[in-house]
Amino acid sequence: MSDLTQRPDLFLGGAWVPPHEPQSADVVEAGTGEVFGSVAMAGTGDVDDAVAAARAALAGPWGAMSSAERAALVGAFAAELKSRGRDTAALVSRENGMPISFSGIVNGLAPAAITGYYAKLGAVLDDAEDVRPSPTGGDTLVVRRPVGVVAAVTPWNYPQALAIMKIAPALAAGCTVVLKPPPETALDAHVLSDAAEAVGLPAGVLNVIPGGREAGAYLVEHPGVDKVAFTGSTGAGRAIGEVAGRLLRPVTLELGGKSVALVADDADLDLFSAKLLGVSMPNNGQTCHAATRILAPRSRYDEVVAAVTDTVAGFRVGDPLDKATQIGPVVSSAQRDRVLSYVELGRSEGRLTTGGGAPDRPGWFVEPTVFADVDNSARIAQEEIFGPVLVVTPYADEDEAIAIANDSDFGLGGVVWSADPDHGLALARRIHTGSVGVNHYELHINAPFGGVKASGLGRELGPEGLAPYLETTSIYRA
């Protein structure tokens, strides 16, 4: 097996090739602040080559296969990912600080499961052509085709799952892919290259070219690209959406969030506390759907603030590779500084109840932090912090809670805590968001995930996540 930490080449056209311009980036271990790897970075000439390889594969063997043949390869690709899962999980923990107990699930197991799911959906696509009778006689044959070459641009926080949520449906639909991962998590992206190579995906079906923002922008705008699938910040999403609009190029945008945890007056606070880490602070808070705005009824306000504070104060902060760790470091020194600047702001926008600093240790750690008495108009209640920081906001009655919940630019996740599931569901229905949980929050492979408002356009996962990679032609027959 290749050295997972040294990647001097790009993976394109089925081969490992050095970049045209010799460029590389150091990969820094979030838990230590030390360089632990190096990765080749793509420039514009490499993007050109990767897109050309993807176009050639589409016109060549991949495009000529039946959906069942392609699905068999996608299924084998899933098995390759699964066999590498343990190493991949550890690699990501070193790159972005994700606690290994969590990384084992989302980077180790989920990518293979998602890929296997889409292999099954894709296998029957050729048989899924449907004939629709016409009211005026004759019928219409609805033919589905792959949309073409997909540019997949991904962030560092859930690097494997977010890449696979694009690659797996794209390949199952018969598309080819150019993946542009960010430098912070470029090492784990090449596990996808290894798996593609091992399984014998035809050359150019999956191309992996790590790079910066410029390479991403060049790829998104490339004339050889047919569809863009992006996950990242709302700012970058707006820029990409503008390009896609000008080019009339289909685009999926999974963007930022600032989701609520609405604690109803009948909530079971033991359950709420037990699940707080996974729902409101997963991955050290570096999670787009984290429920970071906690809305507490005035009738139980002190009780809720105490539950949040005690629970967060008890989180075990430590080495992300230690199975007992609940909160690891954030991804980079720049991200730590950004989070700490919000913590400083929070001192004037709320009442600090726990945390509020950076532990004295190497690596990019931020203490898990809670601010109570935060008005929903405060910046720490409105802006995505993307670190281990929660805010608690009081509400008088449920109408006010719903108004506060929906008073946000974002709409990605959310959760309602109520001992009565029907009550919880009734509240969940009133939150304007792409996904919301009742007494838990967990993405499901077969249910669409995505945002409303500034959280994005389109959906991933489920059959809805396959649809953007297919286009239809209606053939009217007399």
Q: Min. distance of Cβ 67 from ligand NAD in angstroms?
A: 27
Should residue 254 be labelled a site residue for ligand NAD when binding is judged by CB under 6 A? yes
Assess contact for 342 and 387: CB atoms under 8 A: yes
Q: Where are the alpha helices (DSSP H) in 373-420?
A: 379-382, 398-406
Size of the site for ligand NAD (CB under 6 A): 31
* Residues within window 8-67 making contact with ligand NAD, judged by CB under 6 A: none
Q: Where are the alpha helices (DSSP H) in 210-322?
A: 213-220, 234-247, 269-280, 301-313
Among 71, 217, 291, 389, binds ligand NAD (CB under 6 A): 217
Rounded CA separation 263/194 (Å): 45
Nearer to ligand NAD, 331 or 372 (CB): 331
Q: Where are the beta strands (DSSP E) in 223-365?
A: 227-231, 251-254, 260-263, 293-297, 351-354
Among 33, 212, 278, 448, binds ligand NAD (CB under 6 A): 212
Among 154, 325, 393, 418, binds ligand NAD (CB under 6 A): 154
Site string for ligand NAD, 162-181 (x = CB under 6 A): x-----------------x-
Q: Min. distance of Cβ 312 from ligand NAD in angstroms?
A: 20
Nearest C-alpha neighbor of 31 from the set 81, 121, 79, 93: 93
Structure tokens at 275: 């699940």
Should residue 342 be labelled a site residue for ligand NAD when binding is judged by CB under 6 A? no
Q: Partners of 254 in the beta sheet?
A: 231, 456
Among 157, 160, 309, 418, binds ligand NAD (CB under 6 A): 157
Should residue 411 be labelled a site residue for ligand NAD when binding is judged by CB under 6 A? no
Nearer to ligand NAD, 257 or 356 (CB): 257
Nearer to ligand NAD, 280 or 354 (CB): 280
Among 17, 143, 239, 452, binds ligand NAD (CB under 6 A): 239
Q: 226 in helix, strand or coil? A: coil
From the list 122-130, 148-156, 348-356, 424-432, the region that binds ligand NAD by CB under 6 A is 148-156
Rounded CA separation 357/355 (Å): 6
DSSP letter (8 states) at residue 184: G
Q: Min. distance of Cβ 289 from ligand NAD in angstroms?
A: 7
* Residues within window 366-395 making contact with ligand NAD, judged by CB under 6 A: 384, 386
Q: Min. distance of Cβ 385 from ligand NAD in angstroms?
A: 10
Nearer to ligand NAD, 231 or 309 (CB): 231
Structure tokens at 17: 């090739």
Residue position matching structure tokens 């980079």: 332
Q: Min. distance of Cβ 442 from ligand NAD in angstroms?
A: 14
Q: Partners of 457 in the beta sheet?
A: 253
Nearer to ligand NAD, 203 or 288 (CB): 288
From the list 7-15, 69-77, 131-139, 228-236, the region that binds ligand NAD by CB under 6 A is 228-236
Among 14, 155, 204, 411, binds ligand NAD (CB under 6 A): 155
Should residue 240 be labelled a site residue for ligand NAD when binding is judged by CB under 6 A? yes
Assess contact for 417 and 261: CB atoms under 8 A: yes
Among 145, 213, 423, 453, binds ligand NAD (CB under 6 A): 213
The angle that helices 269-280 and 301-313 make with each other, rounded to 10 degrees, is: 50
Among 160, 231, 353, 354, binds ligand NAD (CB under 6 A): 231
Helices (H) and strands (E) in the chain, counts: 16, 23
Nearest C-alpha neighbor of 224 from the set 395, 49, 344: 49
Rounded CA separation 15/5 (Å): 18
Assess contact for 4 and 92: CB atoms under 8 A: no
Nearer to ligand NAD, 372 or 412 (CB): 412
Torsion of CA 318, 324, 327, 329, to 10 degrees: 40
Among 164, 229, 412, 466, binds ligand NAD (CB under 6 A): 412
Rounded CA separation 165/465 (Å): 8
What angle (nearest 5°) sits at the alpha carbon of residue 469, between those of residues 465 and 472? 115
Structure tokens at 427: 């509240």
Tell me the pairing of strands 251-254 and 456-457. antiparallel
| Residues designated as active site | 254, 288
Nearer to ligand NAD, 238 or 429 (CB): 238
Nearer to ligand NAD, 198 or 243 (CB): 243
Provide the sign of the torsion angle of the four alpha carbons 426, 431, 435, 437, taken in this order: negative
Nearer to ligand NAD, 255 or 372 (CB): 255
Should residue 232 be labelled a site residue for ligand NAD when binding is judged by CB under 6 A? yes
Rounded CA separation 20/335 (Å): 30
Question: Contact positions toward ligand NAD, by CB under 6 A?
Answer: 153-158, 162, 180, 182, 212-213, 216-217, 220, 231-233, 236, 239-240, 254-257, 288, 384, 386, 412, 451, 455-456
